[in-house]
Structure formats: structure tokens, C-alpha cells
Copies of this chain bind each other. A is one copy, B any other.
Amino acid sequence: MKLIMAVIQDKDSNRLSDALVEHDYQATKLASTGGFLKAGNTTFMIGVEDKNVENVMTIIKENCESREQLVAPISPMGGNADSYVPYPVEVQVGGATVFVLPVDQFEKF
């Protein structure tokens, strides 16, 4: 048994939880408070058999991997037209930091 602690971005949270449910993994979602370091992240706590660790890692990677995304420009509202960029910009989104912890004992009551 292992306990997987995965810190991911909020925007990937629903997608990851759907994928875990679909593959019959049980997870608990811990709230991270906003405004800290990486704002808007969420921590998933997932208990898995040793043999399923790699499968869960793949599911996390598929749903949360860091990637670039085109963001449409926002037109300057009475603002600084000098800094206005009239074409979409690539931003980095997603990403996951994952710790696999050994478990000495596991019980369900």
C-alpha cells in the first residue's frame, strides 16, 4: 500500500477526480488556502496498492501535466495601449508535484 500525495492546479482538479473515479481509485481532496506560493492548487490524497502506483501516476500525468496554452489578448480598457499585445500569448498551465509515501498499515472501518 502507498499513499500518493499529488499537488495539482485547481483548473485540473475536476478532470483528475473524474479520471480517478472512472478507474475506481478512491481519493480525498485537501483544500489549499489561496494566495500562497502556487496560488490555486489542490492536494489529492490517493491510497493505492503497490501494483497500481504507476497506473495512478499515468492518470495524474495525463490530466495535469504542465503545458502551454494560448490566451486571447485582452483589449486595453482605457489603459496603456503601449503594452497591448494584439495576438494570443502562450502561458504555462497545469503541472503536478507528486509524492509517493510508504504505508505501514491500512484499515477501513
B residues near A66, Cβ cutoff 8 Å: 109
Q: Specify the main secondary structure of chain A where it touches its partner.
A: strand
C-alpha spacing A32/B17, complex, angstroms:
14
Is B108 a contact partner of A26 (Cβ separation < 8 A)?
Answer: no
Copies per assembly: 3
CB closest residue in chain B, given A37: B27
- Indicate the size class of the contact surface on chain A: 35 or more
C-alpha spacing A30/B30, complex, angstroms:
7
B residues near A100, Cβ cutoff 8 Å: 103-106
Cβ contacts A to B, 28 pairs, < 8 Å: A1-B99, A3-B99, A5-B45, A7-B28, A7-B45, A17-B37, A21-B37, A26-B38, A28-B32, A28-B41, A28-B43, A29-B33, A30-B31, A31-B31, A43-B45, A47-B97, A53-B105, A57-B107, A60-B109, A96-B108, A97-B107, A98-B106, A98-B109, A99-B106, A100-B105, A100-B106, A101-B101, A101-B102
Q: Residues of A at under 8 Å CB distance from B?
A: 1-3, 5, 7, 17, 20-21, 26-33, 36-38, 41-43, 45, 47, 53, 57, 60-61, 64-66, 95-109
